[in-house]
Amino acid sequence: MEAPVLKDENQFPTEEVVYACLGKNRKLWDLFFEGIRMRHPDFSPEWRYYRDGKSWLMKVTRKKKTIFWLSLAEGTFRTTFYFGDQAERPILESCLAEERKQEFANGKRYNRIRGITILHRARKDREDAWLLVELKEQMK
């Protein structure tokens, strides 16, 4: 797995900082968030520095509901979605990539939730993330 970046608590992840970390894969970021803004203009992204993980993470919410977490890695970014057990059937019956379905089915449980993490490298990754956003929106 790619090493996380944005470890400096004093360096807020501005657009310039994010783009510098992403390098040539900046387009992946732009296309992902363009799609999010078009489909869900009411989502709110917020960067925070977390001392326990010693890095900056973006939490994307709708009202009070967390939709996904985002972290940067050198040359890319990852999104993590957490779902309760009630999401198992919709996830396994979705057109999500098989590896992601297995990640959820076999994933480590944190009380009653499990996560799916997507390392964004290609168009299919973006489509899977958008699908997970839709599934997250359907869950209560």
User: What ranges do the domains of the chain cover?
Assistant: 15-138
Q: How far apart are CA 35 and CA 28, in angstroms?
A: 11
Indicate the angle between helix axes 123-138 and 26-39, nearest 10 degrees: 30
Q: What per-residue confidence (pLDDT) applies to 3? A: 62
**Cα radius of gyration rounded to whole Å, the chain:** 15
Nearest to residue 42, comparing CAs of 69, 60, 59, 57?
A: 60
Mean pLDDT, 10 residues at a time, the chain of 140 residues: 79 96 94 95 97 95 96 94 95 95 93 94 95 92
Q: According to the model, what pLDDT value does residue 2 have?
A: 61
Predicted TM-score (pTM) of the model is 0.92
Closest by alpha carbon to 21, among 120, 126, 123?
120
